[in-house]
Amino acid sequence: MESRWNEMDASAAIGRMGKDFGQDLALRVYTSQLIGQDTDLVIHGGGNTSVKTVFTDLLGRDSEVLCVKGSGWDLVSIEPQGLPGLDLQALRDLRALDGMSDEEMVRQLRRQLWDPSSPNPSVETLLHAFLPDKFVDHTHADAALVFGNRPEGLAEMEALFGGEVGVLPWTFPGFPLAKKVADYREAHPDTIGLILHKHGVFSWGPDARTSYERMIQIVDRLEQEIGRRLEGKQVFVDVPDYTEGSFKLVASSALPMLRRLISVKSEDEFSPYQPLIAEWRPTAEALAIGEDHENCWELFWATGPLTPDHVIRTKSAYVVARADDEVLADKIGEYTMGYSDYFHQASMEREVAVTMLDPYPRVFVIKGVGLVAFGKDKKAAIAAADIAEHTLHGKMMGQALSSYEALDPVDVFDMEYWSLEQAKLGKAKEASLSRRIALVTGAAGAIGRAVCRRLLDGGAHVVLSDLEGEALDKASAEMAERFGATRVASVPMDLCEEKSVKQGFRDAILAFGGIDILVMNHGIAHVSSIEEMELSDWERVHAVNETGTLLCFREASRIFQHQGLGGQVILNASKNVPAPGAEFSAYSASKAGAVQIARVAALELAEYGVTVNMVHADGVFADESSGRSSGLWDVVGPERMAARGLDPDGLRDYYKGRNLLKVPVQASQVAEAIAFFAERRTPTTGAALTVDGGHAQTFYR
C-alpha cells in the first residue's frame, strides 16, 4: 500500500476550505478523503478521523475543539460539515469517570457540540478525545483483519511490529475502550499507532500527513507479510469458463426465488411481504468459492464477519451453495434456525431483552452465479455486496495463511444489537413503493417519463424500457440525476421481437432482483381510413400494441409465479377502446385487443396475488415536466389539425373543450392513476380508470 499524499492537492484543499474552516480542518478533510478512497482501508461509512484544533466564539474567545467524523458521513466524500466540533476539555474531563452507559455517552457528546445542529459525533469520539495526538486516523484495514483474525494473529502482530505499533485484544467500542486505548498510549509514548484485534487500526501524529502515512506504513507492513507467506499458494480454485449467457440465465432464475425466500411477512393484507433489493456480481473470487461451495460452506456459515461493524449490513453468516431451488430453500431454512438459536443463546448469556431482527440471510455465494447481496434498497444492497467482496477475499486469505478465526458470536451479537449501531441504519418510515421494482415499457415517451417519475417519487426502483436509442438514454439520465443512479436502470427492448422481450425482462431482474410492478405504457399509432389501410401498417401497429402486450404479459406471468410475491400490472390503454375515433382503426383495435389480454390475465393471475388493471387516457399532448411531446400525438396531431383547421394551441383547446370538465389532461395525472393501482390502495383487479376530463362515450355501463 502506498501513500496518496500529494502536496499540490493538499495545498488546493487548504485553498478551498482554509479561509472558512482553517488549515487544520482543511487538511483533516483532505487526508480523510484519501483514506476513504482506498476500499482496503474503509468501506461504506467505516472508520473515523479527527483533529484537535482551536475555534473562536462570537466574543473572540479561543477554545480547544475536537473535530471528529459525524454519523451519516462517508470518509470518501466527507466535507468540513461532516466533522462536527466538540469542547475538547469537557470530553477529556469524562475520563475521570469509572463508567458510563452508551446512552449517557451520546447525551454527553451532544451537550459538548460547538454547533447544536451538527450530526451526531462518532461513537468512538471519546477514544479520539482521550488521545493526546493532534491528528488521529481509524480504519478497518483488510490486512489487519486478514492477518489478525487467526488463532495466532494477536501474538504474530505483536512480534511483527516489535512495540512500534501497539496490539490490544478485542474490547467492545465505547467508554471502556476509549479509556483502555488512552492508558496504553500514555504507557507507550513512542508508538505510531495501535491495532485493535478483530476491529481495526489507529494511527496518530502531530500533523495530517504524518498520521495518514503512519496508517499506510502499518497496513503496508501487514500486506507485505501476507504476500510473503502466501507466495506460491493457490487461494482460490480454478473456475470453468462460464459464458455471459449462462451467468444471466441462472442468475435471473435464482434472484426472484431468493427474494421470496428471504422476504419478511407484512401485516398489510394487500402487500403481504416486505421484499428486498438485490445486487448481483459474478466476480472471479465469488465464482471460485461457489465452485468450491462444499468446502467453503463451513468457512462462511460458521465464522463471523471480518469486523463486527459489518454485521449490521451483511449479518454474520453467508449462504454458500449450488444453484438449485430446493437446495437454496433448505439452506435458507437452516440459516433462519441457526440465526434464531444464535439470538436466543446470546441474549440469554448477555441477559438482555431485545427484539430479534429478521432471521434471513443477506449474502449468497452460488455456484455458476457468483455473489448476490440484498438490502432494503439498491444502495444498501451495494454496500452489503462491497463488504461481502472484501469478506470473501479476506476469509480465504486468512484460511490460506493458517485458519480463519472470527470474533465470538456473543461479541458479534453485542454489535448487531447495539443501539448505537442500529441507529446508523435509520428508522424513517418507508415510502409507499419502497422495496418494489417496477418495469415501465414505453418509458421514453411523454406519459412514460411521468410514470417513471411518479413511481420513483413513491420509493420504487424503476427499470426504464423502450427502443434502444437517444430517447431512452435521455429519459434514464433524467431519472438518475433526479432520484439517484442506484434506483434507476435502463433496458432496451423491442416489443416486436420475442427474443428481445425475453432478454429485456431477464435484464430487468438482474438489475434489482425481480419485478413487482409492470406498467405497459407502450403504443404506436397510424392514421388511415379502413378503405385505405395498408396491411403492413395494420400489422405494425398490432405487433407493438397487441402482440407486444401479450409478450410482456407472458414473461411477467412466469416471473410473478416463480417469485411468489404477488404483483401489480397496469396497462395504459386508451379512451379509444370504449370510444374509437374515425381513421384510427389500427390503434383502436390493437388497444382493444390489449385490453382483452389484460382482462384474461386478471382472471389467470389473481390466484398468485397479482392484480391487473387498466387506465384509459385521452388528450395528453406532452410531458409537462420535461416538455417532451407525446409520440402518439406527433403522429395523430397533424392530421387532426388539418381536418379542423387548427394550430397546435387550438388543437389543445379543442380537446380540452370537448371533455365534460373542460380541463387539459396532464401526463402527471395519468401517472397518478397508474400509481393508484401500483400502490394497491384497494383490492381491485380487472378494472379500468379513465383520465380524460370526462367523456360520456367512455362511461362504463
Same fold, 7-230 and 244-425: yes
Q: What is the mean pLDDT of the chain?
A: 92
- CATH tag for 7-230 (out of 3.40.225.10, 3.30.56.10, 3.10.129.10, 3.20.20.10): 3.40.225.10
Element spanning 391, H or E: helix 378-401
**Rounded CA gap, 677 and 521, in Å?**
14
Phi-psi region of 89 (alpha: psi -120 to 50; beta: other; left: phi over 0): alpha
Task: Return the pLDDT at 695.
Answer: 83
> Phi and psi at residue 694, in whole multiples of 5°?
100, 110
Task: Return the pLDDT at 137.
Answer: 98
The amino acid present at 350, given as its one-letter code, is R
Closest CA to 179 of 241, 238, 128: 128
Task: Return the pLDDT at 421.
Answer: 64
Which of 207-216, 349-358, 594-603 shows the lowest per-residue confidence on average (mean pLDDT)? 349-358
Q: How far does CA 412 lie from the centroid of its chain?
A: 24
Range list of β-strands (E), 57-199: 62-68, 85-87, 135-139, 165-168, 193-196
Residue 639, pLDDT above cutoff 70? no
Task: Return the pLDDT at 574.
Answer: 86
Task: Return the pLDDT at 265.
Answer: 79
* 121 CB-side CA count, 13 A: 34
Task: Return the pLDDT at 320.
Answer: 96
| Bridge partners of residue 138, in order along the sequence | 48, 202
Task: Return the pLDDT at 576.
Answer: 85
Read off the pLDDT of residues 141-185 as tens digits, 9 standing for 90 and up.
Answer: 999 999 999 999 999 999 999 999 999 999 999 999 999 999 999
Residue 583, pLDDT above cutoff 90? no
CATH code reported for the domain at 244-425: 3.40.225
Residue 632, pLDDT above cutoff 90? no
Element spanning 569, H or E: strand 567-572
600, burial (CB in 10 Å: exposed 0-12, middle 13-18, buried 19+)? middle
Domain definitions of the chain by residue range: 7-230, 244-425, 437-630+666-692
Task: Return the pLDDT at 462.
Answer: 98
Task: Return the pLDDT at 273.
Answer: 79
Task: Return the pLDDT at 584.
Answer: 85
pLDDT band with cut points at 50, 70 and 90 for residue 658: confident
Read off the pLDDT of residues 525-552 as tens digits, 9 standing for 90 and up.
Answer: 898 899 999 999 999 999 999 999 999 9
Average pLDDT over residues 620-635: 68
Average pLDDT over residues 101-127: 93
User: How many CB atoms are located within 10 Å of the residue 209 CB?
Assistant: 18
Q: One of 212, 342, 417, 587 is an active-site residue; which one?
A: 587
Task: Return the pLDDT at 642.
Answer: 64
Of the two residues 696 and 627, the one the predictor is more confident about is 696
Residue 634, pLDDT above cutoff 70? no
Task: Return the pLDDT at 392.
Answer: 97
Residue 445, pLDDT above cutoff 60? yes
% pLDDT > 70, the chain: 93
Task: Return the pLDDT at 100.
Answer: 92
Read off the pLDDT of residues 30-89 as tens digits, 9 standing for 90 and up.
Answer: 999 999 999 999 998 889 999 999 999 889 999 999 999 998 899 999 999 999 999 999
Average pLDDT over residues 682-695: 91
The rounded radius of gyration (Å) of the Cα atoms in the chain is 30
Residue 610 near residue 559 (C-beta atoms within 8 A): no
**Rounded CA gap, 39 and 115, in Å?**
31
393 to each of 217, 320, 480, 560, how far by Cα in Å? Answer: 22, 14, 31, 35
86, burial (CB in 10 Å: exposed 0-12, middle 13-18, buried 19+)? buried
Task: Confirm whether 184 is a catalytic residue.
Answer: no
Task: Return the pLDDT at 455.
Answer: 98
Task: Return the pLDDT at 422.
Answer: 64
**Rounded CA gap, 358 and 265, in Å?**
10
Task: Return the pLDDT at 233.
Answer: 93
Direct distance between the N- and C-terminal alpha carbons of the chain, in angstroms, rounded to an integer: 74
Closest CA to 509 of 437, 448, 609, 605: 437
Residue 672, pLDDT above cutoff 70? yes
User: How many CB atoms are located within 10 Å of the residue 388 CB?
Assistant: 27
Long-range contacts of 579-584 (CB under 8 A, 24+ apart): 579/695, 579/697, 579/698, 582/529, 583/527, 583/528, 583/529, 583/639, 584/525, 584/527, 584/636
Q: Which CATH superfamily does the domain covering 437-630+666-692 fall into?
A: NAD(P)-binding Rossmann-like Domain (3.40.50.720)
561 to each of 323, 369, 549, 567, 605, how far by Cα in Å? Answer: 19, 21, 18, 10, 8
Task: Return the pLDDT at 625.
Answer: 72
Read off the pLDDT of residues 386-424 as tens digits, 9 standing for 90 and up.
Answer: 999 999 999 999 999 999 998 999 999 999 998 776 665
- H, E, C per residue of 65-88: EEEECECCCCHHHCCHHHCCEEEH
Read off the pLDDT of residues 208-246 as tens digits, 9 standing for 90 and up.
Answer: 999 999 999 999 999 999 999 999 999 999 988 877 778
Residue 65 near residue 86 (C-beta atoms within 8 A): yes
**Rounded CA gap, 41 and 51, in Å?**
19
**Rounded CA gap, 667 and 451, in Å?**
8
Residue 102, pLDDT above cutoff 70? yes
Residue 646, pLDDT above cutoff 90? no
Task: Return the pLDDT at 427.
Answer: 60
Task: Return the pLDDT at 618.
Answer: 84
Task: Return the pLDDT at 131.
Answer: 98
| 3-state SS class at 168 | strand
pLDDT band with cut points at 50, 70 and 90 for residue 644: low
User: How many CB atoms are located within 10 Å of the residue 428 CB?
Assistant: 6
Of the two residues 629 and 449, the one the predictor is more confident about is 449
% pLDDT > 90, the chain: 80
**Rounded CA gap, 285 and 266, in Å?**
36
pLDDT band with cut points at 50, 70 and 90 for residue 633: low
| 3-state SS class at 32 | helix
